[in-house]
Structures are given as C-alpha cells and as structure tokens.
Chains A and B, each alone.
Chain A
C-alpha cells in the first residue's frame, strides 16, 4: 500500500522535479512528510505569493515547469496573485495546495477556501482531487497541460485525507490522454505560403516579437529569419531580449512606454509579422488603426489570441519555432533597402533620455541602467519589478544573450525580488540582477530571509525616490498635481536593513559613486543590495 502523499512526491520525481518553493501548513503536512524523505529540494519562502513568483522566475530562467506549494485556506489564497501573474505571462507552473478533509468540504471549517473556484480565471486548468488513485493521472495531465501549447499555471488541490489515503500501488502514466486538449503545433502550410508571399511583396515589413517567442524557444529561428530577410525587429516588453538588443536590425520596444523610433516603425510599416504577442493595450494602444494600415501576419500557438485584440489578415496557429523555421527556410527576398535604411535612421536619431548626475545628491537612473548593462556579462538575467524602475530598465538595459524577466501582463509589484531568487536558483552561474523601486521592494522584502537562508547570490538595485513614482507621475499629469498616497515616508534605512540580514549593502548618491559601487557589487560573492537615491522628479520616459 502507498499513501496519496507519497504518490504526490513520486509523481514530482517522475516529472524530474528537483526543487520546489513552498510554505507548509497543517493541511499539507502529509505531503511534506514524504518530501522530507525525497531528494527534492525545498525552498521555504516567507509568504506564499512569493513561492509562486520564485517558481515563475525558476521556470523562466531554467526553461522547465516551476512547482510551488501552499497549505489550505490563507496559504492557498496568498498564492493567487502569483498564479495570476504567471497566467498573464503564460509561465508553466504547478501549484499544489493542501485542502481540508474532503468530507468537510463546503462546511466553512478552519482554513477552508475554495481555491479551485477562486483560481478559475487565473489557471489554465485546475483539479480538486477526490480519490488518491487518480493522483498519478492528474499529475501527469497537469504537467502536460502546464508546459505544452500556450504554457500556464495548473492548480492541484489535495484534501488532507486524500494525502493520507492508502492506494494499492503507484504507477506513473507514460502519456497524458486528454480528449479535449490537443494543441496545434505545425502551422498550416497554405497559411505559411500566404504569409511568405505577403512578406515578399511588402514594401515596409516589420517583425514584432512578444513573450511567446521566448516561451517557444524560438529565439534562434527568429533571429535567423530577421537576419536572412533583413526585416527590422521591434519587441513588446515581454519580447525584450528575443533579439540581442545590440543587433543592427533591432529597433527597440514598442508601446506606451516604448521607444519613439520603434513606435514610428510600427506606424509606418505596411506589413507586421506579429509573433507570440497578445497585443495588450500597453503595447499597441489602437490595434485596429495599425491593422487598417498594415497587413497583419499573426503567429501564435493560442488560436484565441488571433483576432482578439487586433485583426489578423494572415493568421498562423502553431509553434512559433516550427513556423519561423519554415518561413525562414522558404523566404527568398530581402526587405527593401530603402525601408531598412529609413528605420535605421530613426533608430540613429533616437537619443536616450537621462544623463549621469554628479553632485546633485542623486543617481540618474536611466543612464545608470545603461552603465549597468555595459558592466554586466552578456548572458546576465535582468529581473525588473513594476513601475518606473521597470520602464527605466526596459528602455535602457541592453539585453544581449541574457534574459529580461518582468511581470508584463499583470504588472505585479513585488515580483522582482522573488522571481530573481528563483532565476538565480535555476541558473546559479549566471549574473542575476534585480531592479526594484522602494515601493515594490517593500512588498517583497521579507524574501531577504529566503535569500539568506539559501545563500542566493543575486544583486539588487533599489531605486529609492521615496515615491510610488509612476502613480505619482499620473497624479501630477492627470489629476492636477494632487498627489495622494504616493509618498513613502517611514521607509527604513535599506542599507542597515540588508546588513541586519547579513547582506552586503551600500548607498549611492551620484552616478560615479553608483558605478563604482556596482563594480564592487559584481566582484562580491553572494548577495548585494545597492540603494540608489533617485530624484523624485525623474520622469518615467
């Protein structure tokens, strides 16, 4: 006989899971008891939301499905923001929650929450397990669903009596058989042909890549396609780093906070190859206007994305990697020289905002981000939080062979610190830089404990302007300067705070000092917090 809890652990082992992030509680104790006896490493977070973010950073940097665990009731509900964040960015995640005894379900007993119900809008799929014998099938399906097609979080809610129930034997299924789930991977040959014809005919073609390209592992294919066809590339925020940003044909990020020259190219293009982008309002504010002027070739693995926010003239549903490969192989023509020169001229004319400040008592954050990207290794992973710090990073950091991780869809403050911890655990030999504001940092700073406990050597840049900068800017511009609830008085001395945890820390008040300290920071083994005092009047753009 074997217990449900042991089966759960064996399922994780069968899926090759070597590490999970979580926070225990009474309703998940049987599972933890078997985790104790397994080789799976467990990272104890300081609040459950961060377990999901850490698993998300781990999944994104490591290219595998992340696993997070919480107990029933508040443990489970605390996970929700993390699950929703992963859902919006299509991150493969398995969330395992304990649940009260199945016979007590629906009676509002201690620490009971209908977590499958609450997570319904934010999960790709969810299971409330009613029979321990079903666990192997459910785990197999859950991992399959989370990691294939358009990835996303899958929740498995396991009542405590199911964890203790005894089942005759354990056998892990070879394959997941789900009749209603067969994601299409091969693009339709006729659609691909049509797309190639349209691209070859276009006078002003442009590639716009989103986060889907990264998820599909199609960076090489996309770069090949762009290089062979000389078609210029723009990206959404989630698509940053798909094409090395120092590539000649890369124009920049589009959208509300994007580069003006990249937006101008979007406006002037007569054909846009949209790859793995859901065309959110921050990326393209008036998608129908763009679609009126340009032919849209939309490649996405999720058929529901086609035509949702923007009319697609030539939709191709499939795995971007496969579709890109066949387009790249069949394309013969180069993009018109005149167009390429035009957009490259726009790129040259673009002058990045922000010059280094010395003697004002402040670090100028935009130029400092550019300096940081010069100092860091080509394969460094940059994790940004949400707010001004995110835009400063996205617009100014040059992602080359590395990655840019941020909460692009849901815009979850407090994402960066836990996600950076997860990313560093997945890629211990890579530089991982976490950029936060003082608002977002304070939402997640309890994770400094996790960071210390597991010796995670991430470098943290904390842009301290004592403001919720982006909201404050909105209040200045649109609400007559009536700034309310956006000043962060009462913040601690962050350097001392870090030191209290035993983390090395320093504060910079000029760009020269910041660069010098950053140099020291990158020489330091282990974690480092660099607080940069930023002028509250520094604009987002």
Chain B
C-alpha cells in the first residue's frame, strides 16, 4: 500500500540527505519525493510517498522523528487529503494527428505548453491515477519523454500538518 507523509524540516543544507539516507539504510522504498519551502522561509516541507505495509510506515515515521532537523511528521490519512502531481509529457505528433491529440488533452484538461512540427508537449497537474490515464491515452502516438515531479499533498478541510507556534 502507498502512504503519503508530510514532513516539516528545518530549511538547512544537508537535511534532505539526512532524510533520503535514512530511507536507503533502513531499506524503505521512496515512491516519490517533493521538497519546497513553506510560508515560513526557515521551514521546508518534504512530501514523500512510500510503498510498504503498516509496519514500514510506522517505522518510517518514528525514524524520521529521530532526525534532529525534522520538526514534524504526519502520515496523511487515505481519503482525507488532496494530492497532485505535475507532469510534462512530450508526444510524437505529425501534423495530421494534431487535432486528435489536442482533443485528448482537452478531454483530460492537460495544457499544451509547446508544439512543433513533429511533437506536442503537455503540462498536466492531477493525481497519480489520472496522470496514468493520460499517459496510456497518449501512448499509442509514441511518447518521446516524460518528466514527473513528486506528489504534493494537502489535507482536506481546515486541518493542517503544521506544528503549533512554528
């Protein structure tokens, strides 16, 4: 099963290596990872998707909490958060296919960011499942390149994965 963890860390050099190193040496698998600063520039948020069972995610959470610059770890409850992923997808596209491919993009709400005589590039922001759907729809035309960022996640409603007084 996949778990999404929202982690607040001190925004200092070397923190990411402490976290990624922990995953490597404890044999936890990272599915995706995204880092960015928060509303407080001294604090960054790391969003990690891990694949594993309950034991693994519990250990990941506890071991992450032991890393000194880690301020807070929250395992997001399935169904109680919104997640999205950014992808850039470059597809083979001969002129006569252009309308057809654009139709798919329109249908999936993917934005066209670049067009050339032989290719078309989409920017797509949605959850993993819909990203997969788009990719499979575009596959028959020949995908030239995919660039995907890590999953971002935020809790539904007014609850936050924030530490008080931070």
Physical interaction between A and B: yes
Contact B21 A181 (CB under 8 A): no
Pick from B62, B72, B166: contact of A304, CB under 8 Å: B62
> In the bound complex, do residue B70 and residue A120 qualify as a contact, i.e. CB atoms below 8 Å apart?
no
Whether B10 is near chain A, meaning CB under 8 Å from some CB there, is: yes
The contact size tier of chain B is 20 to 34
Closest to A306 in B: B62
A180/B62 contact (C-beta < 8 A), A116-B14, A117-B17 known: no
On chain A, the number of residues with a Cβ less than 8 Å from chain B's Cβ atoms is: 18
A124 at the binding interface (Cβ < 8 Å):
yes
**Do A304 and B65 touch across chains, with their CB atoms under 8 A apart?**
yes
Q: Give the interface centre of B55, B59, B68 by most chain A CB atoms within 10 Å.
A: B68
User: Which of these, B62, B63, B68, B166, contacts A125 with CB under 8 Å?
Assistant: B68
A124 touches B68 (CB 8 A): yes
Q: Are A304 and B17 in contact (CB under 8 A)?
A: no
Q: Is A145 an interface residue (CB 8 A)?
A: yes
Q: Is the CB of A121 within 8 A of B25?
A: yes
> Which residues 494-529 of A have a CB within 8 angstroms of B?
none
Residues in B neighbouring A116, C-beta threshold 8 A: 14
Considering the chains assembled together, what is the distance between the CA atoms of A304 and B63 in angstroms? 6
Q: Which residues of A contact B96 (CB under 8 A)?
A: none
Contacting pair B21 A121 (CB below 8 A): yes
With contacts A121-B21, A308-B59 known, is A179 near B65, CB below 8 A?
Answer: no
Least Cβ–Cβ distance between B42 and chain A, in angstroms:
9
Q: Is A471 an interface residue (CB 8 A)?
A: no
A116 vs B14: C-alpha distance when bound (angstroms): 10
Contacts of A268-312 to chain B: CB distance below 8 A: 302-304, 306-308
Whether A120 pairs with B17 at a CB distance below 8 angstroms is yes
Q: How many angstroms from the CA of A4 to the CA of B56 in the assembled complex? A: 43
Contact A179 B10, beta carbon cutoff 8 Å: yes
The answer to whether residues A178 and B68 also contact, given A303-B62, A304-B63, A307-B58 and a CB cut-off of 8 A, is: yes
- Nearest A residue to B163 via CB reads A179
Q: Which residue of B lies closest to A145 (CB)?
A: B68
Cβ of B150 within 8 Å of any chain A Cβ, yes or no, is no
A113-149 contacts to B (CB < 8 Å):
116-117, 120-121, 124-125, 128, 145
For A145, the chain B residues whose CB sits under 8 A away are 68
User: Given the complex of chains A and B, what is the CA–CA distance between A303 and B60 in angstroms?
Assistant: 12
Interface residues of A in 299-335 (CB under 8 A from B): 302-304, 306-308
Question: CA A124 – CA B163 in complex, angstroms?
Answer: 22
Q: How far is the CA of A124 from the CA of B18 in the complex (A)?
A: 11
Question: What 0/1 readout, one digit per residue, does chain B (65-93) give for beta carbons within 8 Å of chain A?
Answer: 11111111000000000000000000000
Asked whether B66 lies within 8 Å of A179 as measured between CB atoms, the reply is: no
Smallest Cβ distance from B10 to chain A, in angstroms?
A: 7
Assess whether B17 is in contact with A179, with CB atoms less than 8 Å apart: no
Which parts of B12-42 form the interface with A (CB within 8 Å)? 14, 17-18, 21, 25
List, in ascending order, chain B residues with CB within 8 A of A128's CB.
Answer: 14
Known: A125-B68, A304-B63, A307-B58. A179 touches B14 (CB 8 A): no
Check if A120 sits within 8 Å of B18, measured CB to CB: yes
Q: Would A179 and B166 count as touching, CB distance under 8 A?
A: yes
Closest chain B residue, CB of each to CB of A121: B25
Flag if B59 contacts A181 (CB, 8 Å). no
- Determine which of B10, B21, B55, B62 lies in contact with A120 in the assembled complex, contact meaning CB atoms within 8 Å: B21
Contact B71 A180 (CB under 8 A): yes
| Chain A contacts for B70, CB-based, 8 A | 180
The A404-462 residues at the B interface (CB cut-off 8 A) are none
Query: Which of the listed residues B58, B62, B66 has the most CB atoms from chain A within 10 Å of its own CB?
Result: B66
Extra A-B contacts (9), CB below 8 Å, given A120-B18, A180-B10, A307-B58:
A124-B68, A128-B14, A145-B68, A179-B71, A179-B166, A180-B71, A304-B59, A304-B65, A304-B66
Chain A contacts to B: CB under 8 angstroms: 116-117, 120-121, 124-125, 128, 145, 178-181, 302-304, 306-308
**Can you name 9 A-B pairs with beta carbons within 8 Å?**
A120-B17, A145-B68, A180-B68, A180-B70, A303-B62, A304-B62, A304-B63, A307-B55, A308-B62
